[in-house]
Amino acid sequence: MPVESLFPRLEALLPKVQKPIQYVGGELNSTVKNWDETTVRWALMYPDAYEVGLPNQGVQILYEILNEMPETLAERTYAVWPDLEALMRSEGVPQFTVDAHRPVRAFDVFGLSFSTELGYTNMLTALDLAGIPLEAADRGDDDPIVLAGGHAAFNPEPIADFLDAAVLGDGEQVAIAITEVIREWKTEGSPGGRDELLMRLAESGGVYVPRFYDVDYHPDGRIRRVAPNRSGVPWRVHKHTVMDLDEWPYPKKPLVPLAETVHERFSVEIFRGCTRGCRFCQAGMITRPVRERSITTIGDMVEAGVKASGFNEVGLLSLSSADHSEIGDIATGLADRYEGTNTSLSLPSTRVDAFNIDLANEFSRNGRRSGLTFAPEGGSERMRKVINKMVTEEDLIRTVTTAYTQGWRQVKLYFMCGLPTEEDVDVLGIADLARKVIQAGRQATGSRDIRCTVSIGGFVPKPHTPFQWAAQAPHEVVDRRLKALKDALRGDKEYGRAIGLRYHDGKPSIVEGLLSRGDRRVGRVIRAVWEDGGRFDGWSEHFSYRRWVDAAAEAGLDVDWYTTREREENEVLPWDHLDAGLDREWLWQDWQDAVNDVEVEDCRWTPCYDCGVCPTMGTEIQIGPTGKKLLPLTVV
């Protein structure tokens, strides 16, 4: 059946909205395929505004891989801003893809990538605008399979009622596998309808279908059991791990938008996974083990990506980029290759380490020398032991002193507030640390023209981490500690002016906490918030704490029970049937170690400490060095 473009109808609305170009599509390297020549069609959504969603690596990778498959088509859709939403509702224009402006409901799969839980209400807007019933149970054979991925999908229970399926882990291979299952089912004439398709996906063991699991509760509200409600459905669903990143060198052709977006650069993931063992870090726990991309593949990807995009900045992504076994050679090789071309290189997520200053110097050779960023995360030595962020005060002072003496004028430090066992003194320790940083910098440079910016995020306990049992700090506590910190810095005549402080109030973290560790009962709250107008919860100008608290009260849910309550070891957690490979006993032991200030080393360089991932998942650490170097680019 031909599917018509919605563009003529959308076009009439565009003169009336802000930044219309974001809805127009036509990005360089985007793909429009013939609908009728394909059998399996994916609509991929990053559930935030285009300017945030377009640069997302996960969506770009899947978009490219799926479109490379024969008879398969993938298009993208993003959250529309409220001005366009209102016009689409009044004019009856449904949720559309930006590639060929096809209606989302016409696709076989509506895949959403959730980096954060704060995109849940945007999913409901998109479903509703698309004309897809919000609740999975109300959908028919003509509706797409609504599928969630991304880090938040490691606990999809709060949105279980709205999802047909969820996948955990790396998407490259499982997206292809799902496509094949759907193709086979469609080729057979879609036997058994939607139910059979979901059953086939569930039976594979790699796709979680929430409706095939029942959740029982104790009278006190804790979960008693999560169990399959039909045979053939596995008790636990496993995450997916891509084992050779050199075989998956995506994105090859990065999307280049016309509209301005939050990251205007070509990004290459230099490795996946992290075993530093920071206990607050969900990404580090659920993406194990470390799998490096080789220096030569990285060099090839940068060369092809820059050529295909025209971007003048290259980002080397990972959870801790300086930890690549050949990062020094990568830095020098790329800086040499792009010498004199006004191409700048950036390395986000670096650790506090003097070696990283050398790297930063190398990276800024061809471009701007902006600020340097380090993340000690905890303000006191004790706090850093609790979270297993192994940085001493001495390390930090030595590192920033090196940075200041080598000409960097601005250092940014990231911390968290509301960590387990945290007391006021730990947060005030951030002020002491910042003062010492400035003091050391002034001494080393003899100049007063140096600055330090302290940036503080609220800690939210996340599933599949040692802190999954922890009590989240009430927002009043976080706000009080941050105010004390602010007062301490403001009252400091000697150093206060050289220290900037950035933070947010603690309320959004509570909502994030509710959505992160929530169970299926939280779905009612999400829906009520959305019906009350909740949109774009990741944006402070749209977020309303009151709306969430009221909706929870209305639904009879105690937000504190979900957030500030510490869990017992044997409590069934909503995500226990979803397997990130981490051994539950190891996680519990690591939680106990945290409380006792016991640190754990990185298993890349020390013996295995049995977190459980490699044996459970059949994976292994993949690191260099390869011993290879990047050769100069040949000039044609």
Partner 1 sequence: MPVVQRLRVRYAKRGRLRFTSHRDISRAVERAVRRADVPVAFSAGFSPHPRISYVGAAAPTGVASEAEYLEIGVTRHCDPERLRAALDTSLPPGLDVVAVVEAAAGNLADRLECSVWELQLPEADHALAAVAVERFNAAERVEVERLTKKGLRRFDAREAVLNLEVVEVTETTAGQATSRPCVILRMVVRHATPAVRPDDVLTGLRLVAGFAPPVPPEVTRLAQGPLDVTTGEPADPFGPDRDITRGGGAEPAGEHVGCDL
Chain residues binding partner 1 by CB under 8 A are: 7, 11-12, 14-16, 19-21, 24-28, 256, 258-260, 264, 306-312, 342, 368
Q: Return the H-helix or E-strand segment holding 341.
A: none
606: left (phi over 0), alpha (psi -120 to 50) or beta: beta
Shortest spacing between CB 258 and partner 1, in angstroms? 5
- Between CA 563 and CA 560 the distance in angstroms is 5
Q: For residues 436 and 287, what is the distance between their CA atoms, to the nearest angstrom? A: 35
Distance CA 289, CA 614 (A): 7
Q: Are 516 and 462 in contact (CB under 8 A)?
A: yes
Q: Minimum Å distance from CB 518 to partner 1?
A: 39
Q: Which residues contact 271 (CB under 8 A, 6 or more apart)?
A: 245, 290, 291, 292, 293, 318, 323, 324, 623
The two structure tokens encoding residue 577: 């049937």
DSSP bridge partners of 238: 579
**Stated length of the chain:** 636
Which CB atom, from 21 or from 227, has the smaller least distance to partner 1?
A: 21
Cβ-based nearer residue to partner 1, 19 or 504: 19
How many angstroms from the chain centroid is the CA of residue 310?
26
Nearer to partner 1 (CB atom), residue 364 or residue 402: 364
Based on DSSP, count helices (H) and strands (E) in the chain, helices before strands: 21, 18
- 199 by Cβ neighbours in 10 Å (0-12 / 13-18 / 19+) ranks as middle
Q: What is the nearest approach in angstroms of partner 1 to the Cβ of residue 17?
A: 10
601: Cα within 13 Å, side-chain hemisphere: 7
Residue 626: CB atoms within 10 Å: 14
14 vs 390 by CB, closer to partner 1: 14
**Closest-CA residue to 536 (of 115, 22, 121, 59):** 121
Which CB sits closer to partner 1, 14 or 243? 14
d(CA 168, CA 153): 6
Smallest separation (angstroms) from partner 1 to the CB of 437: 24
- Please, what is the minimum distance in Å from the beta carbon of residue 407 to partner 1? 12
Q: Which is nearer to partner 1, 194 or 369 (CB)?
A: 369
Q: Which is nearer to partner 1, 369 or 604 (CB)?
A: 369
Residue nearer to partner 1 on the CB measure, 265 or 547: 265
Task: Output 24 or 623, the one with its CB closest to partner 1.
Answer: 24
Minimum Å gap between C-beta 368 and partner 1 is 6
Shortest Å distance, C-beta 21 to partner 1: 5
Q: Residue 129 or 306: which CB sits closer to partner 1?
A: 306
Q: Where are the beta strands (DSSP E) in 127-260?
A: 145-149, 165-166, 213-217, 223-228, 237-238
CB atoms within 10 A of CB 49: 21
Minimum distance between the CB of residue 636 and partner 1, rounded to whole angstroms? 9
Minimum separation from the CB atom of position 72 to partner 1 (A): 24
Give least dist CB 343 to partner 1, A. Answer: 9
Which of residues 140 and 340 has its CB atom nearest to partner 1 in the complex?
340
Q: How far is the CB of 278 from partner 1 (least distance, A)?
A: 34
Rounded alpha-carbon distances, angstroms, from residue 146 to 107, 164, 486: 10, 5, 45
In 3-state terms, the chain is what percent helix, strand and coil (to 5)? 40, 15, 40
